[in-house]
């Protein structure tokens, strides 16, 4: 989206996953959930954040270029950096977080992620609860 809310580009996330040999993350989502009898009917990927790397921070990330996109897909527990022009993923991680949100380029080469750390139990505290992860 542009500064005025104009659509600048439409990128199909499933196409990106398949083109970059990351389709296993889309397939992983369709597995039965704990406590259910079969595959869930959730949002397949649940894209919950896209953040461009600003020119101001770009020099602090030697693997990436200004304008590259930091993308979060909650359901497959996947965060990746995408070149929006070539559709190449330059980096990805699916751990150490579970159902994450809001990854950010925080400077000095670090990416910060809000980790829901969902353990799928009734109380939701077996894994310690939500946290911030720096990678």
pLDDT in tens, 10-46: 999 999 999 999 999 887 665 555 455 545 556 788 8
Tell the burial category of 105 from Cβ atoms under 10 Å away from its Cβ (0-12, 13-18, 19+): buried
36 inside domain: yes
Tokens of 27: 């397939």
Evaluate whether residue 8 is within a structural domain: no
The total domain count for the chain is 1
| Burial zone of 101 (CB within 10 Å; 0-12 exposed, 13-18 middle, 19+ buried) | middle
CA angle 106, 107, 108 (to 5 degrees): 140
- Residue 127 located in a structural domain: yes
Domain of residue 90, residue span: 13-134
6 within a domain of the structure (yes/no) = no
Q: Is residue 59 a part of any domain in this protein? A: yes
pLDDT at position 90: 99
Q: Within a domain: residue 71?
A: yes
> For the segment 64-81, what is each residue's pLDDT rounded down to a tens digit?
999 999 999 988 999 999
Task: Look up the pTM and report it.
Answer: 0.84
CA distance 25 to 76: 5
For residue 20, being part of any structural domain is answered with: yes
Q: Is 17 helix (H, G, I), strand (E, B) or coil?
A: helix
Q: Is residue 7 part of a domain?
A: no
């Amino acid at each position: 989206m542009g500064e005025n809310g104009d659509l600048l580009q439409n990128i199909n996330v499933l196409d990106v996953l398949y083109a970059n040999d990351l389709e296993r993350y889309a397939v992983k989502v369709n597995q039965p959930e704990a406590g259910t009898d079969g595959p869930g009917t959730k949002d397949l990927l649940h894209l919950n954040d896209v953040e461009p790397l600003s020119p101001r921070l770009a020099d602090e990330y030697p693997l990436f270029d200004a304008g590259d996109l930091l993308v979060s897909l909650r359901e497959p527990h996947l965060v990746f950096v995408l070149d929006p022009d070539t559709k190449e993923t330059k980096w990805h991680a699916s751990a150490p977080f579970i159902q994450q949100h809001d990854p950010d380029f925080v400077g000095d080469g670090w990416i910060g992620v809000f980790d829901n750390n969902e353990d799928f139990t009734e109380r939701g505290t077996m894994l310690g609860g939500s946290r911030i992860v720096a990678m």
